[in-house]
A and B are shown apart, each in its own frame.
Chain A
Amino acid sequence: MTASAKGSQLSFSRRWNSLEAREARLAWMLILPTAVIVFGLILFPAIFSVWISFRDVGLKNLNDVFQAPFVGLGNYRAVVNDFAFKWQGRQSWGAAVNSIVYSFSSTILTMVVGLIASLLLNRPFRARGLARAIFLFPYVAPIVSIAFVWRWILDPRPSGVLNDILMKLSLIELPKAYLATRGLALVLVIIFTAWRYFPFAMLMILARLQAIDKTMYEAADVDGANTWHKFLYITIPELRYVLGSIFLLRLIWTFNKFDDIYLLTGGGFGTNVLPVLTYQFSFGSFNFGKGAANAMILLIILVAFLLIYVSTVMRSVED
């Protein structure tokens, strides 16, 4: 053995045994189980999903999925031409347009409601802690119970509680089928989403509100600013970053969300969105290739939006 080889071996073993190297190995061992589960059950399936979207996969060849025949863009063509997907005039928007309208309007409404709620809870009053906890209920309660309570409140029969209240107040004459009326159903689903998810926006805004430097308001008082001006010229600019991140997160999650609409309307009456349509293609008609293609289209729209958002909004915020 030559001296140089011996030297490199020595330095290798020194490196192998050095504190840093041992720490790095320990770190990998500690994080490995989490990494394996997350990559194996999320990143790999996501890539596999791209593959499936180009294949003809149904129930018959599900056990033999790797031999599924290649169909090129066939699944994508089938999705884009599907009546449930495409825009067919103002009477029938299709799931793609619905998804965009639903996610944008409910995200904005969620933020507005969350902002109002956080301004309420930012004022000191008795039992504020309790009020704050109650405000979080819609967000922590199971979606299944919440959705079915709302369906029961919106029951189309005269015995439905909303129908009863509105008829007693003479606001409506006949009972309404709220979740089975085109247009109204979409509006209600948007309101439901804001009702359920505003606490997330509220908590994030509240944390930021409490960090705003109080001397700015005092300075504004000295200058004779009123409440509205203080809100407009101090509070809102201070909240800009947090509002931007809430918008992004809630938009992504709402766009991907399946449970809420599936449980409220099943995607009927002009409320079908891409996640529910994906479910219908895959587990309703068992056309997994078409379902995967639909999910890929969903992801493409989402990524396109993110790129636009990051390149325009983020840049303008930085300036």
Chain B
Amino acid sequence: MTANNPTHPSRDERLSLIDHLAQWINWPRFIFAVTLAFFLTSILFPFYWMVSSSFKTYAEIGGREPVYIPGALRPEAYLELFDFWNFGANIVNSLKIAIPTAIIAVILSTLGAYAVARLNFKGKSVMLNGILIVYLFPGILLIIPLFAMVSRIGASIGFEVQDNLSVLILTYLAQTLPVALYMLANYFRTIPAEIEQAGLIDGCSRLSVIWRITLPLAIPALISVGIYTFMIAWNEFLYALVFLNSRDLFTMPIKINTIFNDPSPRPHVVMAASTIMTLPVVTLFLALERFLEEGLTAGGVKG
């Protein structure tokens, strides 16, 4: 056919492509492809809508019909966010909370996890169960007594309870340490004890064995615990909502909530702020997915 009709050389190819497709396709494959497409669209569309809305102008966002693709990458919303809403300060506040939380959580949970994984002591199982009971308690149940306790302590030693970032760091630590401990203890158990025993026989003390042998081997786990706790502190909403009153100290989630509830709706600004808040988390996650997945199942983001 191709030889007889040299003017349409592509026809045969097309036919064979359809043939090929017809051979390849069957019901399971078809259902598989459709379901996968459905999942990908419903997951990615909200993220696309967030990023694209953040580049729309006020006219585009407030029009009678939604604009599916913004006319240009205009940073109007971002300028308003930083100039008018002073969002830079909120980013700094979130970092000021999330970074110390992550660092302290890694240090404390390393110590605790080592004890749980390698050392024997009385009351270990009671302590572990007690720490895991944390899963059962709703955050909302704890916030009333915490609020009362902290204001009582604050009144007697004279420091501000509300608007105190260190109170938030402490509560985030309490929420993340159990899972961090659990993740790290699991990892330490995978390091052969013989390596440490060799160090002990050579005359190192326990602490120097931890420092020189165990920790260098556990770096991937330490990174994932650090990022996991960072993400929890970065995303947390309820405790920040209750404990922060002054606009200067708002973390990003609370500030975004404030902008959203502003009497004049500014969806593009809210979406710009959400994009700024989401991007680092999703990028970090994509880059380190392999390390992080275990943490997601081990304790869940307790979401």
A: which residues have CB within 8 A of B? 20, 23-24, 26-28, 30-31, 33-35, 37-46, 48-49, 52, 57, 62-66, 116-117, 120, 123, 125, 131-146, 148-153, 155, 158-161, 164, 195-197, 199-200, 203-204, 207, 227, 249, 252-253, 255-259, 262-263, 275, 278-279, 282-283, 288, 291-292, 295-296, 298-299, 302-303, 306
Whether the Cβ atoms of A41 and B170 lie closer than 8 Å is yes
Whether the Cβ atoms of B137 and A42 lie closer than 8 Å is yes
| A302 proximity list for chain B (CB < 8 A) | 136, 138
B: which residues have CB within 8 A of A? 28, 32, 35-36, 39-40, 42-47, 49-50, 53, 62-66, 68, 108-109, 111-112, 114-116, 119-122, 124, 127, 130-131, 133-149, 151-152, 155, 170-171, 173-175, 177-178, 181, 206-207, 231, 234-235, 237-238, 242, 252-253, 256-257, 260, 267, 270-271, 273-275, 277-278, 281-282, 285-286, 289, 293, 296-297, 300-303
**Once bound together, how far apart are the Cα atoms of A37 and B116, in whole Å?**
17
Shortest distance between the CB of A230 and any CB in chain B (Å): 12
Whether the Cβ atoms of A134 and B303 lie closer than 8 Å is no
Which single member of A33, A117, A149 contacts B108 (CB below 8 Å)? A33
- Given A41-B174, A149-B274, A203-B293, the answer on whether A52 and B148 have CB atoms closer than 8 Å is yes
Q: List 10 A-B contacts (CB under 8 A).
A: A31-B111, A141-B282, A143-B253, A144-B237, A145-B278, A159-B65, A159-B66, A257-B138, A257-B303, A298-B141
| B112 proximity list for chain A (CB < 8 A) | 30-31, 33-35
Determine chain A's interface SS by DSSP, over half rule: helix
Which single member of B108, B109, B282 contacts A140 (CB below 8 Å)? B282
| A40 proximity list for chain B (CB < 8 A) | 174
Whether the Cβ atoms of A258 and B139 lie closer than 8 Å is yes
Which single member of B36, B43, B109, B120 contacts A20 (CB below 8 Å)? B120
| B66 proximity list for chain A (CB < 8 A) | 159-161, 164
| B134 proximity list for chain A (CB < 8 A) | 38, 42
Shortest distance between the CB of B27 and any CB in chain A (Å): 10
Nearest CB to that of B180 among chain A residues? A34
Give 10 new A-B contacts, CB below 8 A, not counting A24-B120, A38-B177, A207-B297.
Answer: A28-B115, A46-B141, A49-B141, A49-B145, A134-B44, A139-B301, A141-B282, A142-B253, A144-B257, A263-B237
Shortest distance between the CB of A273 and any CB in chain B (Å): 10
**Once bound together, how far apart are the Cα atoms of A227 and B288, in whole Å?**
35
Whether the Cβ atoms of B289 and A133 lie closer than 8 Å is yes
What 7 A-B pairs come out closest when comparing CB atoms?
A256-B138, A145-B274, A41-B174, A27-B119, A45-B145, A27-B115, A295-B141
| A196 proximity list for chain B (CB < 8 A) | 303
**Once bound together, how far apart are the Cα atoms of A137 and B256, in whole Å?**
20
